């Protein structure tokens, strides 16, 4: 079994239009590295220049925001869904 990563519409050109990408289980930082290796440019959209999650990109493991878990050290097991959700601003 694998981990499913849901890709938002604005990032789908980097995945060849794929809405969901399967990756190996592990910690979130490994998953981001695997995404970058398979789909160059995706890691840059998720991580800032210091290697942390960008402020305007939210990442959920199942229904939990990783910022309230262990951040990039959050463990992601088989069968879990990771959702990448760009923050929406405006009024």
Other C-beta atoms within 10 Å of 61: how many?
20
Does residue 89 register a pLDDT over 80? Answer: no
What pLDDT, on a 0 to 100 scale, did the predictor assign at position 88?
A: 77
Measured in degrees and rounded to the nearest 5, phi and psi for residue 3 equal -95, 140
- What's the pTM value of the predicted model, to 2 decimals? 0.91
Q: How confident is the model at residue 14 (pLDDT cuts 50, 70, 90)?
A: very high
What pLDDT, on a 0 to 100 scale, did the predictor assign at position 91?
A: 60
Q: Which residues contact 15 (CB under 8 A, 6 or more apart)?
A: 7, 21, 39, 42
Residue among 62, 28, 63 nearest 46 (CA): 28
Digit-coded pLDDT (tens) for 38-87: 999 999 999 999 999 999 999 999 999 999 999 999 999 999 999 999 88
Which domains are delineated in the chain? Answer: 3-86 (3.10.20.30)
């Amino acid at each position: 079994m694998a981990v499913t990563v849901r890709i938002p519409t604005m990032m789908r050109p980097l995945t060849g239009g794929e809405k969901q990408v399967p990756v190996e289980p592990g910690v979130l930082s490994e998953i981001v590295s695997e995404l970058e290796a398979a789909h160059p440019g995706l890691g840059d959209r998720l991580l800032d220049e210091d290697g942390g999650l960008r402020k305007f990109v939210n990442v959920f493991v199942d229904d939990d925001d990783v910022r309230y878990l262990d951040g990039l050290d959050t463990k992601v097991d088989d069968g879990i869904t990771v959702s990448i959700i760009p923050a929406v601003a405006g009024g």
